[in-house]
Amino acid sequence: MEWSELEAKCAACHGCALWQTRTNLVFGTGSRTASLMFVGEAPGEQEDLSGIPFVGAAGQLLDKYLEAVGIAREEVYIANILKCRPPRNRDPLPEEQDACIGHLREQVKLIRPKMIVCLGRISAMRLIHPDYRITKEHGQMVKKGAFLLTAVYHPSALLRDASKKEDMYRDMKAIRDTLRTLEAAEPQA
């Protein structure tokens, strides 16, 4: 599948009921040849209004961490498991995730990243393992197929609890170091 076909498929998707209440589809943004991909759970209010993932307060905090460790936002790709906003930012339902995960899989196939970083518990439970415990397992790297998977706290959790910020900074530095090692070992074509 090509990007244009996938974008059209998502735009026309009625796979769950969320297309009825969204303002905009939030497809994903960034480099389509990225070595590093971030995956959150679902768009929030600002994302729904703009059609761009991670642009609200949590997204701005993520940008600060990227900048702090020397990763440009344009260098990465950012998407969510759900492409449409759940009403009142409730957690995505399992059946909504089941309906939408195929779009994310197609994005991963097209991008072929070296590393995927789950933003928060829900993304990690879906992409790493179903009983993932973010407080215990954040920052741990898991090899899955052709790429490494890891998870960090969702930036909105850091907005609620500043005590997690030190762990986030440590994890982001480790992600950068691992990424640069992978890139050096196998430069992008």
Give yes or no for residue 10 binding ligand SF4 (CB under 6 A): yes
Smaller CB distance to ligand SF4: residue 12 or 141?
12
| Token reading at 60 | 């701005």
**Pair 127, 41: CB distance under 8 Å:** no
| Token reading at 79 | 């998407």
DSSP-H helix ranges across the chain: 3-11, 45-50, 57-68, 94-111, 121-127, 134-137, 155-160, 165-185
**Pair 148, 141: CB distance under 8 Å:** yes
**Pair 113, 77: CB distance under 8 Å:** yes
Can you say how many angstroms the Cα of residue 165 is from the centroid of all Cα atoms in its chain? 18
Give yes or no for residue 18 binding ligand SF4 (CB under 6 A): yes
For ligand SF4 (CB under 6 A), the number of binding residues is: 13
Minimal distance, residue 10 CB to ligand SF4, in Å: 5
The kind and range of the H/E element at 101 are helix 94-111
Q: Which among 136, 126, 20 is positioned nearest to 81, based on CA atoms?
A: 126
Where does this chain touch ligand SF4 (CB under 6 A) — which range of 16-24, 33-41, 72-80, 170-178?
Answer: 16-24
* Residue from the set 6, 15, 107, 175 that interacts with ligand SF4 by CB under 6 A: 15
Dihedral (C-alpha) 40, 45, 47, 50: value to the nearest 10 degrees? 170
Give yes or no for residue 101 binding ligand SF4 (CB under 6 A): no
Smaller CB distance to ligand SF4: residue 96 or 171?
96
Give yes or no for residue 16 binding ligand SF4 (CB under 6 A): yes
Can you say how many angstroms the Cα of residue 79 is from the centroid of all Cα atoms in its chain? 5
* Residue from the set 39, 78, 99, 115 that interacts with ligand SF4 by CB under 6 A: 99
Give yes or no for residue 100 binding ligand SF4 (CB under 6 A): yes
Give yes or no for residue 149 binding ligand SF4 (CB under 6 A): no
Minimal distance, residue 113 CB to ligand SF4, in Å: 21
* Residue from the set 84, 122, 125, 179 that interacts with ligand SF4 by CB under 6 A: 84
Binding site for ligand SF4 (CB under 6 A): 10, 13-16, 18-19, 82-84, 96, 99-100
